[in-house]
Amino acid sequence: GAVVSQHPSWVICKSGTSVKIECRSLDFQATTMFWYRQFPKQSLMLMATSNEGSKATYEQGVEKDKFLINHASLTLSTLTVTSAHPEDSSFYNCSAERAEAADTQYFGPGTRLTVL
C-alpha cells in the first residue's frame, strides 16, 4: 500500500507556456502533500506544503504566483508552473503523508520538466 503517482512523468514545453503536474495518492488519503524540486545530481529542495482544502505554505524564495499549488481533495494535489522558462527545467517530486502516520512520506516517481 501507500502508492503515490505523478503525471506526467516527463513533459517538454515551450518557454512561456504553463504546465500542470498531478500528484495522486492511489490507496490512501493524504492530508498533506509536499512538492520538491530536484536539480541534476543535487538533493531535493522543499518548495511548498499543501493541506487539503487550504492554501499551500511556500518555502522562502519560492514564488507562489509562479508555482501554483492546489490540493482540492484528499487524494490529489496539482502543481502548475506558470509561464515556464528554461531555468524552471528540473525534476519535480511530490510526496504524501497519511493522517495516521504523519512522520512517513511516500514519494511519487517524479516529473521531469524540460522547458525549451
Partner 1 sequence: GDSVTQMEGPVTLSEEAFLTINCTYTATGYPSLFWYVQYPGEGLQLLLKATKADDKGSNKGFEATYRKETTSFHLEKGSVQVSDSAVYFCALLFNTGGFKTIFGAGTRLFVKA
Q: Which residues bind partner 1 (CB under 8 A)?
A: 6, 32, 34, 41-44, 46, 49, 57, 93, 95, 97, 102-110
Task: Provide the minimum distance between the beta carbon of 33 and partner 1 in the complex, in angstroms, as a whole number.
Answer: 12
Task: Provide the minimum distance between the beta carbon of 38 and partner 1 in the complex, in angstroms, as a whole number.
Answer: 9
Q: Which is nearer to partner 1, 75 or 105 (CB)?
A: 105
Cβ pair 116, 86 in contact under 8 A: yes
Task: Provide the minimum distance between the beta carbon of 15 and partner 1 in the complex, in angstroms, as a whole number.
Answer: 25
Q: Which is nearer to partner 1, 88 or 108 (CB)?
A: 108
Q: Which is nearer to partner 1, 49 or 82 (CB)?
A: 49
